Amino acid sequence: MKWTELVNSGIIEYIDAAEEDNAFVASNQTEIKNEHTHLEIHPIDIFGLVLSLLPFANHDHSSRLIKGGKTLKQSLGIYSADYLVRLDTDVSIMHYPQKPIVRSFIYDALQVYPSGQNLVVAILPYEGYNMEDAVVLNKSSIDRGMGRSTYFRPYTATELQYAGGLADEITVPDKDVTGYRTEKSYRFLEDDGIAYPEADMNEEKS
């Protein structure tokens, strides 16, 4: 049967937060008793989407799982394959994300986008530089692209209409326009007033 057919027939039921107070859910079929009202689809559903991606989650206690889930939410990778045509703000994309070497079967079943990289880490004292959260990185690894990412921040502008037929126009301003800066300030702009693709610019250079 299809998922919609299972829902329409009542075999699968969605319950909200208010209904959870009166629900007694069994983890698997062997635990079902007369008092139970529902059966979990799979025992791993108790973890939710994020925690189910953690490897060996059934061998750790809850506080470590919560910390691992927060770390997983902050991981860097590719959040969407069409990020180049999206208008999301404050987006970071990792250049060379990798699938984890050790992962849960949920990771492969959902076919999620990879996040993070598999790094070789040495745990040892190094002249006191390993204090707290400090780390010593191999420069050649950085040069080869370890942890390399790109930060996207789109800028928007609106052309407004004014009384008397006046209107804003996105273009390269003439030197006689009030508020004109210098030619250096507009060196990234093309004839349409928009910066050309892959212009190497930032807030200090603009």
Asked if pLDDT for residue 205 goes beyond 60, the answer is no
Catalytic residue (one of 16, 21, 90, 133): 133
45: nearest Cα among 25, 67, 74: 25
pLDDT number for residue 204: 65
8 Å CB contact between 157 and 170: yes
Give ∠ CA 186-188-189 in degrees, rounded to 5. Answer: 70
Asked if pLDDT for residue 3 goes beyond 80, the answer is yes
How sure is the predictor about 148, in pLDDT bands with cuts at 50, 70 and 90?
Answer: very high
8 Å CB contact between 133 and 154: no
Q: Does residue 167 belong to any structural domain of this protein?
A: yes
| Residue keyed to tokens 């301003």 | 173
Q: Does residue 104 belong to any structural domain of this protein?
A: yes
Residue type, 123: I
**Neighbouring residues of 55: CB distance < 8 A, sequence distance ≥ 6:** 100, 102, 103, 104
The verdict on 128 and 162 lying in the same domain is no
> DSSP code of 152?
E
8 Å CB contact between 24 and 32: no
pLDDT number for residue 67: 92
Mean pLDDT across 173-195: 88
The verdict on 144 and 163 lying in the same domain is no
The verdict on 81 and 134 lying in the same domain is yes
The verdict on 182 and 129 lying in the same domain is no
Q: Which two tokens stand for residue 92?
A: 């970071």
Q: Does residue 7 belong to any structural domain of this protein?
A: no
Mean pLDDT across 14-26: 89
Within 10 Å of residue 152's Cβ, how many Cβ atoms?
14
Mean pLDDT across 14-36: 89
Catalytic (active site) residue 143: no
State whether residue 150 is helix, strand or coil.
Answer: strand
| pLDDT tens digits, one per residue of 88-138 | 878 899 999 999 899 888 888 888 888 889 988 887 777 766 666 677 888
The verdict on 143 and 176 lying in the same domain is no
| pLDDT tens digits, one per residue of 51-82 | 888 888 888 888 998 998 898 888 898 888 88
Q: Does residue 59 belong to any structural domain of this protein?
A: no
Structural domains counted in the chain: 2
The verdict on 174 and 133 lying in the same domain is no
Q: Which two tokens stand for residue 91?
A: 């987006």
The verdict on 146 and 206 lying in the same domain is no
**In terms of residue numbers, what domain contains 190?**
157-206
